[in-house]
Amino acid sequence: MTAEQRLGTQPSKTTRWIILGIVGLVFALPIVAMIEFTFRQGLAGGYTLDHWAGLFGEDSARTYRGLFQAIGNSVVLAIVTVGIVLVLLLPTMILVHIQFPKLKRVLEFICIVPITVPAIVLVVGLAPVYSFVVKIFGSGAWTLAFAYGITVLPYAYRAIQANLEAVPVITLSEAGRSLGAGWPTVLWRVLLPNLRRGVLAASFISVAVVLGEFTIASLLNRVNLQTALLQVSQSDPYVAVIFALLALALVFGLLLLIGRLGSVGRNRKES
């Protein structure tokens, strides 16, 4: 047993694997059911590879025409949204934490409103704002990032806040300031490395939310990954499920990649 396990701060190996095993099994079940469905032949039973093979058929070119552009749109949207979170939300949260503790509840409420009003209702209000935005920025799909920055606010806020509360931000910033650092340096080299965990979690969930968002893009008639997926899924229920699984795998892979990049930076620092 490690010291931490003896102290009780960490679970023993058996506990860990029991919990993770049970939860993992339960959560894998619906995914496995979807995969099993895609191999089914029809109502009579029996299995076939035809549905997967059909992905590469001759008439699939038209099907895929919009899909690759949609993936590109969604990736750009994800990047811009994470940018909004990092550039707008994070400094504001740190500022409120240090200087305006009384505004903390206000900020918390602001960051919970986006998730309170369902997107299908919010779009009624977003539409006039967007007709104005379109005049300035054009109607490219990337302008959706402004709305998505709002959509991810609740998740990103909670992830960063959990970290903020665990780190003695005020002490650290005072220490940095008293050692002669300017505010930018304090932010970059003192606070952000400590908030890395929360910022990374916020980025993860933001990317996942943007790549999985359907309603706002669809109701504002923009093309993103999910709307394009719906288009290609129309012909065949099996194809629809196959594409949903592939989209999940794509986002999962993307996030693994981002996580890898994040930990590479950290290793370099610690060595």
> Among 39, 55, 60, 215, which residue interacts with other proteins (rule: CB under 8 A)?
215
Does residue 182 interact with other proteins by CB under 8 A?
A: no
Number of chain residues interacting with other proteins (CB under 8 A): 148
Q: How far is the CB of 85 from other proteins (least distance, A)?
A: 11
> Among 25, 49, 246, 266, which residue interacts with other proteins (rule: CB under 8 A)?
266
> Among 204, 224, 225, 242, which residue interacts with other proteins (rule: CB under 8 A)?
204
First to last CA, the chain: 26
Q: How far is the CB of 183 from other proteins (least distance, A)?
A: 9
Nearer to other proteins, 56 or 235 (CB): 235
Query: CA–CA separation, 260 vs 89, rounded Å?
Result: 24
- Alpha carbon 191 to its chain centroid, in Å, reads 23
Chain positions 231 to 260 lying near other proteins, rule: CB under 8 A, are 231, 234-238, 240-241, 244, 248, 251-252, 255-256, 259-260
Q: How far is the CB of 264 from other proteins (least distance, A)?
A: 7
Query: CA–CA separation, 86 vs 200, rounded Å?
Result: 10
Q: At what angle do helices 144-151 and 60-84 cross, to 10 degrees?
A: 60
Binding flags for other proteins, 139-158, as an x/- string (CB under 8 A)? xx-xx--xx-xx--xxx--x
Query: CA–CA separation, 79 vs 85, rounded Å?
Result: 10
Query: CA–CA separation, 266 vs 65, rounded Å?
Result: 39
CB 221 within 8 A of CB 73: no
Structure token pair of residue 185 = 């340096």
- Alpha carbon 117 to its chain centroid, in Å, reads 19
Chain positions 13 to 72 lying near other proteins, rule: CB under 8 A, are 15-16, 19-20, 23, 27, 29-34, 36-37, 40-45, 62
Chain positions 68 to 97 lying near other proteins, rule: CB under 8 A, are 76, 79-80, 82-84, 86, 88-89, 91-92, 95-96
Residues 6+ apart with CB under 8 A from 231: 66
